[in-house]
Amino acid sequence: MILSRTSSLQAFLSIPLLLLALVSVAVAQTDPLPSWKDGPVKSAITDFVAKVTQDGGADFVPPEERIAVFDNDGTLWSEQPVYFQLAFALDRIKAMAPQHPEWNDTEPFKSVLAGDTKGLAAAGEKGLMEIMALTHSGMTTDEYAAIVADWLKTARHPRFDRPYDELVYQPQLELLAYLRANGFKTFIVSGGGVEFMRGFAEKAYGIPPEQVVGSAGVTKFELRDGVPVLVKESKIEFIDDGPGKPSGINNFIGRRPIFAFGNSDGDQQMLEWTAAGPGARFIGIVHHTDADREWAYDRQSHIGKLDKALDEGTAKGWTIVDMKNDWLTVYPPAK
Amino acid sequence: MILSRTSSLQAFLSIPLLLLALVSVAVAQTDPLPSWKDGPVKSAITDFVAKVTQDGGADFVPPEERIAVFDNDGTLWSEQPVYFQLAFALDRIKAMAPQHPEWNDTEPFKSVLAGDTKGLAAAGEKGLMEIMALTHSGMTTDEYAAIVADWLKTARHPRFDRPYDELVYQPQLELLAYLRANGFKTFIVSGGGVEFMRGFAEKAYGIPPEQVVGSAGVTKFELRDGVPVLVKESKIEFIDDGPGKPSGINNFIGRRPIFAFGNSDGDQQMLEWTAAGPGARFIGIVHHTDADREWAYDRQSHIGKLDKALDEGTAKGWTIVDMKNDWLTVYPPAK
């Protein structure tokens, strides 16, 4: 019964599929990546996609295996002068301060409230972790999502005076859409908090929540007045960075990607893991070379350090995007 | 550029969509759930699906939010006389025994090798955990996948003398296909090992790896002769059972399901979490009542104990499947 239904469905669908094929031909005549400058980087992308989608070709990959993974910070949106999730956390400390008068005399909060970046830097990683834990736990997942949504609506980036979720890269938006139009399933695989990223990933990138892989804290199921809630605890469950990225891919996606894009040494193992699979692979790195339109940083940067992965990518012929030269536009126009 | 391309695509696609709508009308005349007996349980399913897919209706749910989650053991396939993943582990101990002569004198291995179920039971949960850890770690993820694939090909269930992955429930296969045909995204959310389940989920259920949520061990990224591998360690990263299921759903899927199916108290929190969302919900429980065609067990069972969730489901009017009466068929025909 099921089988015969499927067959008749297929018969009906062959007409739409034929039309779709005609559409594809029509679409091929417009440039799907207008913000990418013509040249070897752009060609590396389009050649790869053409190759793996050519039915019957030597490098053909069936649609269900067309998994593309993107780091987020520095790959899909900016990450300077601080990771945007840290900017969120610092704003939260300020918002929560009236309920915590003791913070005026306690580091790292004192420095945050005084806008003292040197004092904050002196608090080191321990201080940052304390800020992240405090601002990302002690509420339900629904409450947290509402806080993130509110922040995205109201906060403005200090340099560009735009909402943070507008500082996404226009060329990457085009690339995501282009990959999906070619049967790829696009995922974020990022060190950022998975629930934080889900606050904007669907709207900003068209990536649904179930295709966002990130770092996660432990959540605890509770009944509050008979209503089930998940409470965010300060304990970390999984860090999706560096060697954690292949583990995250294995655990969440369960298939090795054929396409991976990163921008820092924290992406190196994800790029290696993707590259090591059989058949055609695309490995891309965003090199931040554009101090005018965005930022220029690599080997010496505390944020998004790109050193070992740049050497490996150069040696292995991975596709390295020179932001200044390869991207005609960086951000989409203001809304 | 992207926008205008999307618009012309949509214009072209409206013709196929129209045809698809006609197909839907035609399909509605055949029964998508032929193994479900006509009656209140089957109607609860079809009424729910009709309701949430009726465009413009009060209970309409957009396709991207049509998330359906299924427990695996006892909900999609059988779980007696022991969880199939435990049967796999016991078979592995036997296969590995020649390299471990010391096991002949060491519990719990001695009992496993002698087929002494009482001795194995005496080893308790600690013994079982040792067996699970030993058989699920110490190899790469690729090696493990090959071992599982080989076992599924060769092992036979003791009662039915069929491969384990043929002991899936025909009514649930129809239900999964029916939900997908109605725009649902179907997920497994199970206490079983996520990598074990991915060994059969796509072939058996049509559920791709990235839609399988399960318990997971820690994996470690390593370069072996320059080749990246993920090594399975014996440390547990996440247990996707009981109150862990809502956490797993939150972490992996990031959206609250509108449809959930389970069969035991280990599913209770997942069912509660799903039921507590706004709008129309479907909550189903498979009650194992069929000793002739499958097994009959509930409140007193050590495997798949169904006690508190049965009381809650009865009190709240969840859909409780009486396997003996509601399912016309249990397993698909042998291949």
Using the predicted structure, report yes or no on whether residue B20 has a pLDDT greater than 70.
no
Residue type, B263: N
How far is residue A113's CA from residue A83's CA, in Å, rounded to a whole number?
Answer: 18
Phi, psi of B24 (to 5 degrees): -55, -40
**CB pair distance less than 8 Å for A2 and B174:** yes
Q: B141 to chain A: which residues are within 8 Å by CB?
A: 250
CA B137 to chain centre: 22
Residue type, B3: L
- Minimum distance, in Å, between the CA of residue A317 and any CA atom of chain B: 16
How high is the pLDDT of residue A14?
A: 52
**Helices (H), strands (E): how many in chain B?**
14, 7
- When pLDDT is averaged across residues A174-185 and rounded to a whole number, the result is 98
How high is the pLDDT of residue A9?
A: 43
How far is residue B310's CA from residue B287's CA, in Å, rounded to a whole number?
Answer: 8
Using the predicted structure, report yes or no on whether residue B27 has a pLDDT greater than 90.
no
Partner residue opposite A30 with nearest CB, options B1, B27, B243: B1
Using the predicted structure, report yes or no on whether residue A19 has a pLDDT greater than 90.
no
Q: B254 to chain A: which residues are within 8 Å by CB?
A: 194-195, 198, 209-210, 212
Using the predicted structure, report yes or no on whether residue B22 has a pLDDT greater than 90.
no
CB-based contact, B198 to chain A, within 8 Å: yes
Helices assigned H by DSSP within chain A: 2-28, 40-53, 84-96, 109-114, 117-135, 141-154, 170-181, 194-197, 201-205, 244-248, 268-275, 308-316, 323-326
- Minimum distance, in Å, between the CA of residue A254 and any CA atom of chain B: 5
How far is residue B40's CA from residue B148's CA, in Å, rounded to a whole number?
Answer: 39
How high is the pLDDT of residue A6?
A: 42
Using the predicted structure, report yes or no on whether residue B287 has a pLDDT greater than 60.
yes
Using the predicted structure, report yes or no on whether residue A94 has a pLDDT greater than 80.
yes
Using the predicted structure, report yes or no on whether residue A1 has a pLDDT greater than 60.
no
Please write the tens of the pLDDT for every residue from B178-232.
999 999 999 999 999 999 999 999 999 999 999 999 999 999 999 999 999 999 9
How far is residue A129's CA from residue A123's CA, in Å, rounded to a whole number?
Answer: 10
**Cis? peptide before A81, omega within 30° of 0:** yes
How high is the pLDDT of residue B26?
A: 52
Q: A221 to chain B: which residues are within 8 Å by CB?
A: 243-244, 246-247, 269, 273
Using the predicted structure, report yes or no on whether residue B262 has a pLDDT greater than 60.
yes
Tokens representing residue B314 in the block: 């009865």
Lowest mean pLDDT among B6-15, B134-143, B147-156, B243-252: B6-15
CATH 3.40.1500.10 fits A30-81+163-326, yes or no: no
Range 3-32 of A in CB contact (< 8 A) with B: 4-5, 8-9, 12-13, 15-17, 19-20, 22-23, 26-27, 30-32
- When pLDDT is averaged across residues A260-278 and rounded to a whole number, the result is 98
Q: Which helix (H) or strand (E) holds A228?
A: strand A227-238
B/e letters for B38-57, b = 16+ CB within 10 Å, e = fewer, are eeebbebbbebbebbbeeee
**How many Å from the N-terminal Cα to the C-terminal Cα in chain B?**
51
> β-strands A259-262, A67-70: how paired?
parallel
Please write the tens of the pLDDT for every residue from A139-177.
999 999 999 999 999 999 999 999 999 999 999 999 999
> β-strands B185-193, A185-193: how paired?
unpaired
Tokens representing residue A239 in the block: 């860090």
Share of chain B above pLDDT 70, in %: 91
- When pLDDT is averaged across residues A123-146 and rounded to a whole number, the result is 94
Q: B15 to chain A: which residues are within 8 Å by CB?
A: 16, 19
Q: Report which DSSP code applies to A78.
A: -
**Where, residue-wise, is CATH 3.40.50.1000 in chain B?**
31-81+165-326
Helices assigned H by DSSP within chain B: 2-27, 40-53, 84-96, 109-114, 117-122, 124-135, 141-154, 170-181, 194-197, 201-205, 244-248, 268-275, 308-316, 323-326
Using the predicted structure, report yes or no on whether residue A13 has a pLDDT greater than 50.
no
Range 124-153 of A in CB contact (< 8 A) with B: 141
According to DSSP, the residues that pair with A77 across neighbouring strands are A73, A168
Using the predicted structure, report yes or no on whether residue B54 has a pLDDT greater than 90.
yes
Please name which of B307, B255, B313 lies closest in space to residue B68, comparing C-alpha atoms. Answer: B255
Share of chain A above pLDDT 70, in %: 91
Range 223-252 of B in CB contact (< 8 A) with A: 223, 227-228, 230, 237-238, 243-244, 246-247, 250-252
Query: May I ask the CATH class of domain B31-81+165-326?
Result: alpha beta
Q: Report which DSSP code applies to B249.
A: I
Task: Please report the ipTM that was assigned to this predicted complex.
Answer: 0.89
**CB pair distance less than 8 Å for B12 and A5:** no
Per-chain mean pLDDT for chain B: 93
**Where, residue-wise, is CATH 3.40.50.1000 in chain A?**
30-81+163-326
B/e letters for B89-104, b = 16+ CB within 10 Å, e = fewer, are bbebbeeeeeeeeebe
**CB pair distance less than 8 Å for B219 and A194:** no
How far is residue B199's CA from residue A164's CA, in Å, rounded to a whole number?
Answer: 41
Q: Quick check: A275 and A281 in contact, CB under 8 A? A: yes
Q: Quick check: B65 and B161 in contact, CB under 8 A? A: no
Per-chain mean pLDDT for chain A: 93
CA B122 to chain centre: 29
How far is residue A303's CA from residue B157's CA, in Å, rounded to a whole number?
Answer: 54
- When pLDDT is averaged across residues A297-311 and rounded to a whole number, the result is 97
